[in-house]
Amino acid sequence: MTAETTLEPVTNPRASFVRRLPVVSHFNKSVGLQRFMLVVGLVLTGIFLLTALAAPLLAPYGFAQLSDADGSFPTQQAPGGKHLLGTTVGGYDVLSRVIWGTQTALMVIIVAVVLSIFAGVILGLVSGYIGGWLDRVLVVVADAIYAFPSLLLAIVIAIVISGGQSSLLGGILAAAASITVVFIPQYFRVIRAETIRLKAEPFVESAKVVGASNVRIMSRHIFRNATRTLPLIFTLNASEAILTLAGLGFLGFGIEPSSAAEWGFDLNKALADVTSGIWWTGLFPGLAIVWTVLGLTLVGESINDLNDPRLRGRRRTSRKAVPAGPAATEPAADGPGTETELSNP
């Protein structure tokens, strides 16, 4: 492959690498409300990411800290004073746990999505390209997984992996693995559908005609063309991953408070507080979940709209501003060279 990369000439003006990255390119071609949605999503997601990375600096206390130099924290204290967002029934600082919770959420997203993308993409490529009985079996299995309620599946896997114990790593892996299993069929289906479509494209046939092997066709010709929709599923699945994690935690299959902070678990513990008028223990972890999911969903939906030329908004042309100069070099999409071949006999 190195043979041709050196062929890349400098004469060819094209957008820089950075400008062609998924989210950046989407931002550049967005206008109006669509750009607003994308920007809001990016800001929400950005704050989430920054908080996760800077959690040790931002959080006033550790996630499992119950006391400091002045002694034990009070329990169920209202927001204010030393504890900006109050404390829980167990005496944890709510603000600190919300902040540390971003780390757990991020780790689960990364592990879950990376695992499911790898497995899903490879299975989808092989299944779609080779077809036959292998394809049929894989599709049936994927459908069978769809039939399970995802939370039930997650609970079963959480039990299998951690055996009821809950360490930080065990908890995260259990949550991530269960999410992975639920998501693999989605990636599998998308990539398989794209592969089947691409398999009939003339450029794949032309690779077959020159004698390219199956592995080469899959990796070089199909893979790169089939993965265009991945950023979209990635963002949408990331938000679903958080919801599954929170659901697991809420049901009690999450991570113990001593090993990591987890929003769903905190929500569960806050249930009893609601009736006694203690709102801060439930509100803030809940808000954190909404914040993160909203941010990721907005990014995902914007990318979805922007990828589709029919849904993408464009600036309207102004009626009067039609300069004579650049119009001569106009048709952009399908190559103007065709016409010029004739015009100079």
Partner 1 sequence: MTENPGSVSDHQDKDRKTVLDIDHLQVTFATDGGDVRAVKDVSLDVKTGEVLAIVGESGSGKTVTAKTILGLLPETATSSGAVLINGANVISLNPGQLRQIRGRDVAMVFQEPSTALNPVFTVGWQIAEGIRAHAGANGRGRVTAKEAKARAIEALGKVGIPDPEHRVNYYPHQFSGGQKQRVVIAAALALNPGLIVADEPTTALDVTVQAEILELLRDLRDKYGTSIVLITHNMGVVADLADRVVVMYQGDIVEEAPAKTLFAEPRQDYTRNLLAAVPHLGRNSASAGLTERRHQDEEVLVAANNLEIEYPGRLGTPAFKAVDGVSFTLSRGEVFGLVGESGSGKTTIGRAIAGLNRTTGGSLKVLGYEMLNLRERSFKPLRKDIGFVFQDPAASFNPQLTIGECIAEPMLIHTRPSDAQARKRVGELLESVQLPASYAGRYPHELSGGQRQRASLARALSLNPRLLIADEPTSALDVSVQAKVLELFRDIQEEFGFGCLFISHDLAVVDILSSWVGVLYKGKLVEQGIGSQVMGNPQHDYTRRLIASLPVPDPAEQAKRREEHRALLGI
Residues near partner 1 (CB under 8 A): 2-4, 6-9, 11-12, 29, 201-203, 205-213, 216, 220-221, 224-225, 314-317, 319, 322, 326-327, 330-339, 341-343, 345
Q: Closest CB to partner 1 among 143 and 201?
A: 201
Q: Closest CB to partner 1 among 18 and 210?
A: 210
CB of 157 to partner 1, least distance (A): 36
Under a CB-based contact definition with an 8 Å cutoff, are residues 233 and 186 in contact? yes
CB of 258 to partner 1, least distance (A): 49
CA–CA distance from 157 to each of 48, 182, 259, 265 (Å)?
28, 11, 19, 18
CB of 257 to partner 1, least distance (A): 48
Q: Closest CB to partner 1 among 36 and 203?
A: 203
CB of 224 to partner 1, least distance (A): 4
CB of 341 to partner 1, least distance (A): 6
Identity at 126, one-letter amino acid code: V
CB of 202 to partner 1, least distance (A): 4
Q: Given CA atoms 113, 115, 118, 120 in this order, what sign does their dihedral have?
A: negative
The count of C-alpha atoms lying within 13 angstroms of the C-alpha of 58, restricted to the half-sphere facing its C-beta, is 18
CB of 36 to partner 1, least distance (A): 19
Q: Closest CB to partner 1 among 147 and 328?
A: 328
* Helical H segments across the chain, by residue range: 2-5, 17-20, 22-28, 32-53, 55-58, 94-130, 132-147, 150-162, 168-199, 202-209, 214-216, 223-226, 230-251, 263-275, 280-307, 337-343
Crossing angle, helix 94-130 and helix 230-251, to 10 degrees?
130
CB of 188 to partner 1, least distance (A): 22
Exposure class string for 123-133: b at 16+ Cβ within 10 A, else e: bbbbbbbeeee
Q: Closest CB to partner 1 among 18 and 332?
A: 332
- Using CB atoms within 10 Å of the CB of residue 83, give its burial: 0 to 12 exposed, 13 to 18 middle, 19+ buried: buried
Q: Closest CB to partner 1 among 57 and 342?
A: 342
Q: How far apart are CA 223 and CA 216, in angstroms?
A: 10
Under a CB-based contact definition with an 8 Å cutoff, are residues 219 and 238 in contact? no
Identity at 65, one-letter amino acid code: Q
Q: Closest CB to partner 1 among 126 and 198?
A: 198
Q: Closest CB to partner 1 among 76 and 225?
A: 225
